[in-house]
Amino acid sequence: MKRLVLAAYRVRGLIYLPAMIVLVAIAVTSGLSYSDGVQQVRSTIAWCAIVAFAATIVLAFLGPSLLPAREMITVTSPVHGRWQALNSPASNVPSHGIRMYGQAYAIDLVADPLDRPRPAFGESPAMRHPRDYPAFGEPVFAMIDGVVVRASGWRRDHRSRSNLLAVIYLMVEGAVRELGGPGFILGNHVIIRGADGTHAAIAHLQQGSVSVRVGDRVTAGRTIGRCGNSGNSSEPHVHAQLMDRRSLLTAQGIPMAFADVVLDDALERIDGLPQNGQHLTVAVREEPRRRD
C-alpha cells in the first residue's frame, strides 16, 4: 500500500495538470447550450476531473510523510558576488510552499550588491523593467559536474511584479502558465544530470543567454547562462534546486548546501544555505575549462 501511495504521489503532476485543464475548459464553455447526451458526458467528465484533482490534493498531504530521508548534497553556488536568499529551505520545507516540480528544497537568490541596491518591494512603478534589478544579466553557473539533459532559452523576460496588486496578477498568470506545463513555470532553464543520478536545475534565465546545449558535458562552476526574469518570476532572480530525476512532473527534491560560501558577516567560509533574508557572498573564481 505504501509503495502504491508513493507511486501515485510521484505522478500526481501527471494527474493534476490534465484535471485542471479539463475543469478550466468546462468552466469556460459552461454558458453554451448542449443536447442532453452531450451534457451528460460533460457532467461525467467534470466529476472525474474533480475526483482526480481532489486526489492530487490528498496525495500532497499524505506523500511527504512516506518519503525516505535524503542526505544533503554539497554543490557549487550558481552565483558569484553578494546575493540575498528568498524562499530558502534553510527556513522552511517545502521552501516554495509545494513539492511539485521537484522544488521541495529549492532556493531563490536575488542579487543585492552593496554598490547597487535592488528596488524595494512596493516602490513605483508596479512593473519595472528587469534591467532595473542588479541580478538581471548576471552570469549563472553549473552547480554540479555532469551532462546537460535540458536547455531552454526562448521564453521572453517580462517586467517585474513589484507591489501587492502586481503579485496578485502574477498568481493569476501563474495559473495560466501551469496549463502549459512546468517549462512555462520555470521559464528559461537548464537541467544537468550528475554521475550519481542527481539532477541540478536552474531556472528563470535570461532569454537567449543559455550557453549550453543538450548533450554537453559541463564542470561545476562553468557559465551556463545569465539571470533573467522568464517564467513565473516576480523579479530577476536565480532559482536553483536538486532533483532525483529529469522529469519536473515526477521528480522529488533533494536537500543541498552551497560549498565554500560566506553568510552575511561571517569571518570564514562554510558549506550551507542562507536563511530567508540572509545574504551569501561568493568570491569570483576562475571558470573551469570546458569539457564538451
229-262 pLDDT, tens digit per residue, is 999 999 999 999 999 999 999 999 999 999 999 9
Evaluate if residue 288 carries a pLDDT over 80: no
**Angle between helices 2-10 and 12-28 in degrees, nearest 10:** 50
Residues making up the chain, counted from first to last: 292
- pLDDT-wise least confident of 4-13, 202-211, 250-259: 4-13
Q: What is the pLDDT of residues 75-130, one digit of tens each?
A: 999 999 999 999 999 999 999 998 989 999 999 999 999 998 899 888 888 899 99
Return the CATH architecture of domain 73-282: Distorted Sandwich (2.70)
Q: Is the pLDDT of residue 291 over 60?
A: no
d(CA 139, CA 145): 17
Residue spans per domain, the chain: 2-66, 73-282
pLDDT at residue 66 is higher than 90: no
Q: DSSP letters along 26-85, please?
A: HHHTTTS---HHHHHHHHHHHHHHHHHHHHHHHHHHHHHHHSPP---EEE--S--EEEEE
